[in-house]
Amino acid sequence: MDLLLVIAAWLLVWIAGIALVAVVPRPRDAFCAPGEIAWLAGAGFFAGAFVVTLWMRALSLAGIPFTRVSIGVPLLLIAAAGGWIAHRRDGPGLARAWRAGLLALSARETAGWMRALWWAVLGWLALRYALLFADVVTQPLYPWDAWIQWATKARVWFEAKAIVPFATLDTWLAGNGALYTDAAPTYPAAVPLWQVWSCVALGRFDDVLMNVPWWFVAVAFAFAVFGALRRAAFDPTAALVGTWIVVSLPLIDVHVALAGYADLPMAAYFTLAALATLAWIRTRTVYDGALAVLLVLACPLIKTPGIVWAATLVPGVVLALAPRHGMKIVAAGLVLGLAALAVLSQTKPIVLNYQLGLDFAPAWAALFESFYMLGNWNLLWYGVVAAAVLAGPRLVARDVAPFTAIITAGALFLFIVFGFTNARAWVETQTSINRAVLHIAPLAAVWMLVVFRAWAARRGDVAPAAASV
């Protein structure tokens, strides 16, 4: 019964999120386009999961305690109102789209070995998520950052029924214990609020069941990636295999099974923010633009580096909006940014909890080992290098260049962090490096798929895509 309460609470968040996304204006019958329903379902969860944290912040500011009624009833109203509006505006089209989406699971569009591949990959995904679910609902909160930086806030806020501030250690000591503190008192509140909502729905604090949203993140992320690939004109089997490549990364599974860290949510929100932005570049619709803005705004509220990850989308947007002079603008911005970092590093400032300096001494051996020798990423980074080499000039073609710019900006961010800050010490221990790289790894996998397709299209092995991600 306890587990059902938590599942119901997060299904309500998911349905409310879908309803919110569904009411955003879009072209008539757009729901019926390939991938739209899967994208709606996946992105809808992340919209709902973000909005529920905003509502909980509002409740706390208003002095209204966290309860099932104060949180759950507004979610029910959002789900009902959004569903009613979407039905009134595009009811028949939406119904046809849901039926088509369900029928697509039967793989009627494929035959022969492709049909067998479809069912094999779908079965693998179903089995993997079933096993991960068993891990999540039986594994107590795992140690380290999960319980010294995140769950500390969740426990306090659940007991207080409100968001109470956490102070730095010096301030806490000066307050004679009248304040709260933990290992990261300034970290964003979204992830602990997820755990609080789980416990509020349950009626007690439970360091196992409060982590159920991490499983929902993983499942919704798979829906969203499949939908994004289908929207970008990948055929159903290619989109499903591509989804499997993305979600089967070992470190993603680890962050689901050992739930409690913010890195998987950060990776999911950043990936979907980038895919929504790239979709807006392609369609220029209010729907894609509004969803991109919502997901981008969520990034810094999930984890502090989300501010920089959101900023890495800017070069892609610039290239799309100014195709003739975009490269020059991006290059100029890069030079100015590096110059500013060089000036700032003279004083060794603390930026986003990293100490910046000009001592360039990355741990090359540890970086190579992490990317290419250990089992954290399967063969992802081999594939990324191969895709870049094979694609060649196609990397900067008009349809791929914005995506390439985003990936390049993200890689540059990691290069600066692990080459010019105190974070390079963590590379040698193989700890923070893999968690930081997780933020961009799923998006890099999608980029690899897009680039490989562009290369194959140039060789004539596949038909040119009608649209790029």
* 108 and 214 housed in the same domain: yes
pLDDT value at residue 19: 94
Give the distance, in angstroms, between the CA of residue 416 and the centroid of all CA atoms in the same chain: 22
Residue 425 lies in a domain: yes
Residue 467 lies in a domain: no
Residue 296 lies in a domain: no
Of 242, 261, 280, which one is at a domain's C-terminal end?
Answer: 261
Q: Which residues contact 240 (CB under 8 A, 6 or more apart)?
A: 118, 121, 122, 226
Residue 298 lies in a domain: no
Residue 250 lies in a domain: yes
pLDDT value at residue 116: 87
How many helices (H) does the chain have, and how many strands (E)?
Answer: 22, 2
Residue 157 lies in a domain: yes
* 179 and 47 housed in the same domain: yes
Q: Of 94-103, 122-131, 253-262, which gets the smallest average pLDDT?
A: 94-103
* 238 and 358 housed in the same domain: no
Of 239, 261, 283, which one is at a domain's C-terminal end?
Answer: 261
Q: How confident is the model at residue 467 (pLDDT cuts 50, 70, 90)?
A: very low
Put residue 236 in one of left, alpha, beta given phi > 0 → left and psi -120 to 50 → alpha. Answer: alpha
Q: Determine the structural domain holding residue 390 and report its residue range.
A: 305-459
Q: How many other C-beta atoms are found inside a 10 Å radius of the C-beta of residue 288?
A: 22
Put residue 460 in one of left, alpha, beta given phi > 0 → left and psi -120 to 50 → alpha. Answer: left
Q: How confident is the model at residue 350 (pLDDT cuts 50, 70, 90)?
A: low
- For the chain, the domain total comes to 2
Ranked by mean pLDDT, the top range of 19-33, 330-344, 349-363, 402-416 is 402-416
Residue 93 lies in a domain: yes
pLDDT at 62 over 90: yes
